[in-house]
């Protein structure tokens, strides 16, 4: 490793060892998932080909096409092949083909099949068109960043969650004017478990709006408007997780989102989604997000809402290392890895702040280029808003001290109700005050050799290596069955969505994997 200078007295050989173990685990998973595809991967291809809209019963057309192929027992060769063949045979566009399938006027499996090479030629053209749109969106982001400027890290990240996208817009613009750099639009409760992407704008969501293309578009336009007003680029976040992980990633890429929550382990542990389904879906979704220049956020912070932060801190580090390697294998550069962790020590723990500082500094040293995403205290927030404000302030101190990339601000009323605009104002104002006043504290202060902070960080890394060694032996799937993360056990053949997984057939073709990864390798 080049110039590894550790403030924590971490041995670079141990860091190398931890990375190698994580790489072995990730390679094992990636080699396994490449043999499979899923209904959500195939629907993603349909969306990239321009298939959009719903049928008379409100079923999204990508679902209609993929379900049609599945019912005909033809899915193993993938949707791209049949759509490409239908374009050749009928001269229709993919959208017209989907509409014909929806009205029972067309059976994709009954058309005369053209040669695989001819079909691939059509498919590649369709794929290049979609990739061209993503390239334009990337160029647009770059232009806006150059024109408006990129705020300093840690980016101030806040959430809007009214359930009405138009109300979310009002709140999001207000938050940006108050100083927010990233706006996350919270998703309607349990969208993770829907095996389709809802269509259109949401005005009556529960706890949030649906992740839909139209909602992405509405918020993107609103954030671009306010960005020009405040003269700094504003990033938009949504959730590419659950049973439609790659589809939502594709919609985010097409609508220029900047950050997406994307972590299969979260879906397995906290939403009971089948592990094979979600790892296959994650691989394709990360290829898309990597190509689109979208930062991924991983969900390690959630482990500490179910397990103790002091006892289980090492599971966060192990998971971050595995997530890093899975992301690299999908073509995501380190600069787009918002690896997650959280300020969740029990406030009654003596020296808890020092342990937090050790954990956050360890994450920073292990992933020097990553815009780490640091989550505020939630588990130990109470109805005492004054103590809550102090807990959030201490979290912000650690954030600036250890140079976190993305700071999701805590709100003092978090444990009582959905925070008011005024609570958000106080949170942003306090964070800006702390970030400005302590901007360079991390460069000025060194840790006592062999002291509490150094010892804690070294202990956590040692425990993480020990866990990774066990996981390499068992493989990721068996380790999840044993409950290594968040004290939660999941069976390999259990959970939701397994019936949507299939083994790729002889002529299976997904043009996007090769094209998007090729760009990374060139």
Question: What's the maximum distance between 2 C-alpha atoms anywhere in the chain?
Answer: 75
**DSSP bridge pairs for 84:** none
Nearest CA to 28 out of 272, 303, 322, 263 is that of: 322
Tokens of 63: 């679902």
Sequence-ordered strand ranges (E) for 388-498: 406-408
How far apart are the C-alpha atoms of 318 and 461, rounded to whole Å? 8
Mean pLDDT of the chain: 97
Average pLDDT on 423-444 reads: 97
pLDDT at 1: 41
How far apart are the C-alpha atoms of 257 and 285, rounded to whole Å? 14
Q: Per-residue pLDDT tens for 131-172?
A: 999 999 999 999 999 999 999 999 999 999 999 999 999 999
Q: Per-residue pLDDT tens for 223-273?
A: 999 999 999 999 999 999 999 999 999 999 999 999 999 999 999 999 999
Q: What percent of the chain shows pLDDT beyond 70?
A: 98
Helix segments in 293-384, DSSP class H: 303-306, 309-329, 352-366
Active site (annotated) includes residue 168: no
Average pLDDT on 420-443 reads: 97
Active site (annotated) includes residue 496: no
The gap from C-alpha 302 to its chain's centroid, in whole angstroms, comes to 13
How buried is 80 (Cβ within 10 angstroms: 0-12 exposed, 13-18 middle, 19+ buried)?
A: buried
CB 237 within 8 A of CB 257: yes
Q: Per-residue pLDDT tens for 53-101?
A: 999 999 999 999 999 999 999 999 999 999 999 999 999 999 999 999 9
Q: Per-residue pLDDT tens for 3-14?
A: 568 999 999 999
CB 280 within 8 A of CB 36: yes
Residue 518's pLDDT band (boundaries 50, 70, 90)? confident
Q: Residue 461: in which H helix or E strand, if any?
A: helix 452-474
Estimate the crossing angle of helix 352-366 against helix 385-401, to 10 degrees. 40
Average pLDDT on 350-355 reads: 98
Cα–Cα distances in Å, from 227 out to 312, 399, 409? 40, 24, 20
pLDDT at 227: 98
Is the pLDDT reported for residue 489 higher than 50? yes
Residue 418's pLDDT band (boundaries 50, 70, 90)? confident
Tokens of 290: 């990597």
Is the pLDDT reported for residue 506 higher than 80? yes
pLDDT at 4: 63
Dihedral, 286, 462, 360, 19 alpha carbons, nearest 10: -30
Q: Per-residue pLDDT tens for 17-63?
A: 999 999 999 999 999 999 999 999 999 999 999 999 999 999 999 99
- Write down the catalytic residue from 36, 155, 157, 266: 266
Q: Per-residue pLDDT tens for 273-332?
A: 999 999 999 999 999 999 999 999 999 999 999 899 999 999 999 999 999 999 999 999
Is the pLDDT reported for residue 474 higher than 70? yes
Torsion sign over Cα 245, 327, 322, 311 = negative
Torsion sign over Cα 460, 461, 466, 467 = positive
Active site (annotated) includes residue 258: no
Tokens of 344: 């969740």
Half-sphere exposure of 341 (CA within 13 A, CB side): 34
Residue 118's pLDDT band (boundaries 50, 70, 90)? very high
Is the pLDDT reported for residue 396 higher than 90? yes
DSSP secondary structure letter of residue 203: S
Cα–Cα distances in Å, from 244 out to 79, 139, 193, 498? 16, 26, 8, 13
Half-sphere exposure of 101 (CA within 13 A, CB side): 34
- Write down the catalytic residue from 120, 373, 403, 496: 373
Nearest CA to 151 out of 424, 377, 407, 396 is that of: 407
pTM (2 d.p.): 0.97
Tokens of 512: 């996007």
How far apart are the C-alpha atoms of 287 and 421, rounded to whole Å? 36
Nearest CA to 59 out of 197, 187, 190, 193 is that of: 197
Expressed in angstroms, the distance from the first to the final Cα of the chain is 23
Average pLDDT on 91-117 reads: 98
Q: What percent of the chain shows pLDDT beyond 90?
A: 96
pLDDT at 419: 87
Is the pLDDT reported for residue 110 higher than 50? yes
């Amino acid at each position: 490793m080049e110039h590894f200078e550790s403030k924590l007295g971490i041995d670079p050989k141990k860091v190398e060892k931890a990375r190698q173990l994580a790489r072995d685990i990730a390679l094992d998973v990636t080699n396994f998932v490449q043999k499979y595809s899923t209904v959500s991967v195939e629907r993603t291809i349909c969306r990239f080909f321009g298939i959009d809209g719903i049928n008379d019963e409100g079923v999204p057309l990508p679902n209609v096409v993929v379900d049609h192929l599945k019912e005909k027992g033809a899915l193993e060769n993938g949707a791209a092949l049949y759509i490409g063949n239908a374009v050749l045979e009928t001269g229709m566009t993919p959208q017209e083909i989907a509409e014909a399938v929806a009205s029972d006027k067309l059976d994709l499996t009954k058309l005369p099949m053209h040669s695989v090479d001819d079909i691939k030629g059509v498919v590649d053209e369709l794929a290049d068109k979609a990739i061209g749109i993503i390239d334009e969106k990337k160029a647009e982001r770059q232009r806006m960043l150059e024109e408006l400027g990129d705020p300093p890290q840690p980016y101030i990240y806040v959430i809007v969650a009214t359930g009405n996208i138009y109300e979310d817009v009002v709140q999001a613009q207000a938050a940006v004017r108050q100083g927010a750099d990233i706006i996350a639009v919270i998703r309607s409760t349990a969208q993770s478990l829907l095996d389709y992407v809802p269509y259109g704008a949401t005005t009556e969501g529960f706890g949030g709006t649906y992740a839909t293309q139209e909602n992405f578009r509405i918020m993107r336009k609103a954030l671009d408007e306010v960005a020009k007003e405040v003269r700094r680029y504003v990033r938009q976040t949504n959730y590419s997780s659950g049973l439609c992980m790659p589809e939502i990633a594709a919609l985010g890429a097409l609508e220029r989102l900047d950050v997406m929550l994307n972590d299969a382990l979260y879906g397995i542990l906290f939403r009971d989604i089948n592990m094979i389904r979600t790892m296959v879906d994650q691989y394709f979704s990360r290829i898309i997000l990597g190509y689109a220049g979208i930062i991924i956020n991983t969900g390690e912070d959630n482990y500490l809402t179910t397990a103790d932060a002091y006892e289980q801190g090492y599971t966060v580090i192990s998971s971050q290392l595995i997530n890093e390697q899975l992301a690299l294998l999908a073509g995501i550069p380190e600069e787009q890895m918002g690896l997650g962790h959280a300020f969740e020590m029990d406030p009654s723990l003596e020296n808890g702040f020092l342990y937090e500082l050790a954990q956050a500094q360890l994450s920073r040293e292990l992933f020097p280029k990553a815009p780490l995403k640091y989550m505020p205290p939630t588990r130990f927030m109470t109805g005492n808003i004054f103590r809550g404000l102090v807990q959030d302030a201490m979290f912000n101190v650690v954030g600036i001290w250890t140079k976190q990339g993305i700071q999701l601000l805590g709100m003092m009323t978090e444990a009582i109700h959905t925070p008011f605009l005024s609570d958000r104002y106080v949170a942003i104002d306090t964070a800006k005050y702390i970030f400005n006043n302590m901007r360079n504290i991390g460069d000025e202060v060194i840790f006592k050799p062999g002291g509490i902070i150094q010892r804690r960080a070294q202990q956590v890394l040692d425990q993480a290596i020990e866990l990774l060694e066990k996981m390499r032996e068992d493989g990721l799937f068996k380790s999840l069955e044993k409950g290594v993360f968040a004290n939660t056990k999941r069976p390999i053949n259990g959970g939701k969505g397994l019936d949507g997984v299939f083994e790729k057939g002889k002529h299976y073709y997904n043009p996007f994997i090769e094209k998007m990864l090729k760009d990374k390798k060139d």
